[in-house]
Chains A and B, each alone.
Chain A
Amino acid sequence: MTAAPSRVPAAVAAEPSPARGRRNGPGRVGYGYWWWCIPAVVLTGTTVYVTTVSGGFFAFTNWSGIGSFDFIGIDNFVRIFRTPELLGSLTNTLGLAIGYLVFSNIIGILFALALNRTLKTRYLLRTLIFMPVVLSPVAVSFVWKFIFAFDGPLNQGLGAVGLKGLQQDWLASPTLALGCVLTVMVWQNIGFVMVTYLAGLATVPPELEEAAALDGAGTWRRFRSVTLPMIQPSIAIATTLSLIQGLRVFDQVAALTHGGPDNSTQTLASEIYQQTFTYQQFGFGAAMALMLSVLILIFTIAQQRVTRDRTEIGA
């Protein structure tokens, strides 16, 4: 905001004031006025922040969603930590978020490197890999549910190639179901991560890599010492968004497993939905939602600190 007056073209700045209030000054932003953003600020404030604060308010009540309520202090928060199944949901959420972050970024960057320059069919392949991103997560999950079904294509395929011993009831197994959810999440996110890294790779000058190659650096060395530092902003964006999406995962769990078998794939977001809308414990659900928001905030800040551009730190 402070830099705004300097962006005003000299010709415009030199013109006499056309109307009252259009003088240069701290309130002026380019060709407009600060108060032009009031509608947007009010709209965002009322639809996002006021409602969020209202939700936070109900976290300290025993509201059932209907009728009156009582203030119960921090009882809802105490209850969260005393409910073993919620701790299981927390573990699942963290496991999914970390797995989602790691796998989708590793696979995404590999695809980005493979489809960055030389391959002739790279544009077609980029489109094909990006395509799942534009699909609805619920629709994608239902397709995968069909694939994972006991008599579905996956088991049929295994049987067809003589691997009947590997056939599983994928979504009914407490040990495999979480992996199935993670697979669907990663599969759909790879395209987005790939595009993010492709944008970063476009900023890496080929001359730098060529110079490194002439100096005798191998493929891994060039990637580690040249490419990776230069796509640091892309890494920060891709990992931050992956982490946030992973922590709030809901659609895939709801469509694939409903949190089952026997709650073994419940996440914090699916628990919040269940407690709030199925069991009509709005107060408790609001407390869990608040906890999830704080959790996302903490992890995001920590992750930002880990992936920030080190060259800026010294600047």
Chain B
Amino acid sequence: MPQHMTRRVRQGAALAVAAAVGVSLAACSSGGGAGSSNAPEPQTFSFAFSEANTSDTSLAQVAQAFEKLHKGVKITQEKLPAESYAQAIATRVQGGNAPDAFAAESGVGQADSIQPFAKAGLLLELTNPQIKKDLEPAGIDQFSYNGKVYAVSRGSGVNGIIYNDVAAKSVGITISGSSTFEDVLNACATAKAKGKSLFGLAGSIPANTSILAHEIATSTVYGPNPKWNADRNAGKVKFATTQGWTDALNDIKTLSDKGCFQPGAGGAGFDALTNGSSSGKLFGFFAPGGAAASIEAASGGHVKLTVLPFPAHSGTKTYASLSSDQSVTASSKTKSPKLVEEFLAYIASPEGQKIVSTGTGFPVGSTEASQLPSTYQDVAPVVISGDTRSFPPLEWPNGKVNDDLGAGIQGILNGQKTAQQVLQQMDSDWG
């Protein structure tokens, strides 16, 4: 037996004896990680996350609520910078000094996605059956690896148009959840005539151009075929040969040609969206729905925004892109595995979801309009009726497919590429 193994056995025996005489030496146990001892767990654990802005306190609040419910439990909150959060947490997990619990992305494709961590055995398996039950409405696969659950959702949100209805109506434009693509084109013309733009687009940021494509493709691809990703994995379909994908990218080109985006959209960054929105030059942009509540809060209630699904063409059904990908997971090296799992179970529960989902949108599995935030008034009928589809890239095999979609759209806007070329590149990236 190697020396360090012998030492562990000795430590285990010493702890067993100590427990038998009623002396708690749990804090001294260094058995090497989760579940290595029957001794009481430390009642303090760390929880790392980032906050998008000062008003986004949902994760801090859920930690405080858990502490209130569990006397004697202390959660050490580690608030990390949002800009470098993914890299920082990935480095810590990989380096073996991960926080006990931490915010992460579900699925694959991001630096802090849970599945690569789970594959490497770095995450705590969540065995509480209630967690699995609570996660089912969000789609259990994105929180699992090899059939085992490793994370819980922080709530659901619609990826849509963050829309300033009040400002748009002031120039005679009305777009709602029941509008069509053709209505949007008419509104673009009206806005342009008034020297405004209906939408802002950060064309140089692939994440922004790709989210627009996903919002449109949710109706043109995933609405008619919710299993499109599974079919792509099985080789039954391809991006380049799926009409819905071609239509989605051509729609973006049409929007550009009709002047729906602000001048210079092809090379714009996020600053163009904030500047354009705050100066009243544009009325909407494409982002996760949680942004609406964040902006409203940051403006001190001076700005009223609404979340819209991207309207489908006349005669076809509009589906909303719904994601529950922001999650909380735990390190396999935590010394308080039961307590940490209990914390994650609390986040997944209806009570926890009510608190934590204020940062993302609404609780997973919401079926009533009253459960949705005020910014979701226009999209509520679509969500409640279940006309929603999961955010596509969560099931894609790597991040490059989505990056090339975003970069390719910039190419389409600039005339560098055609829709077919972009889709062929994505097929090539899929592998």
Contact = CB atoms under 8 A, between A and B. Distances in A.
Given A261-B410, A262-B407, A172 B116 contact: no
A259 B407 CA distance: 9
A17 interface: no
13 contacts: A66-B122, A150-B263, A169-B264, A173-B414, A258-B204, A258-B205, A262-B408, A262-B417, A263-B407, A278-B111, A278-B399, A278-B403, A279-B398
Contacts of B205: 258
A120 to B, nearest CB: 43
A159 B206 CA distance: 30
A: interface residue count bin: 20 to 34
B: interface residue count bin: 20 to 34
Contacts of B413: 172
Contacts of A151: 263-264
Given A66-B94, A261-B414, A279 B120 contact: no
Contacts of A65: 90, 94
B400 A67 contact: no
Interface in B403-430: 403, 407-408, 410-411, 413-414, 416-417
Given A172-B414, A260-B410, A67 B403 contact: no
Interface string A172-184: 1110010000000
B399 A261 contact: no
A112 interface: no
Contact of A261 (B90, B120, B266, B403): B266
A171 interface: yes
Contacts of A67: 116, 119-122
Given A171-B267, A172-B268, 6 more contacts: A66-B122, A68-B120, A149-B267, A173-B414, A260-B267, A262-B411
B359 interface: no
A66 B120 contact: yes
A264 interface: yes
B47 interface: no
B146 to A, nearest CB: 14
A76 to B, nearest CB: 15
Contacts of A240: none
Contacts of A173: 267, 414
B36 interface: no
Nearest to B266: A172
A100 interface: no
Nearest to A278: B399
B87 interface: yes
A264 B416 CA distance: 10
A57 interface: no
Interface in B105-123: 111, 116-117, 119-122
A173 to B, nearest CB: 7
Contacts of A171: 204, 267
Nearest to A266: B407
A261 B111 contact: no
B391 to A, nearest CB: 18
B410 A172 contact: yes
B203 A277 contact: no
A172 B94 contact: no
Interface string A257-278: 1111111100000000010011
A64 interface: yes
Interface in A272-288: 274, 277-280
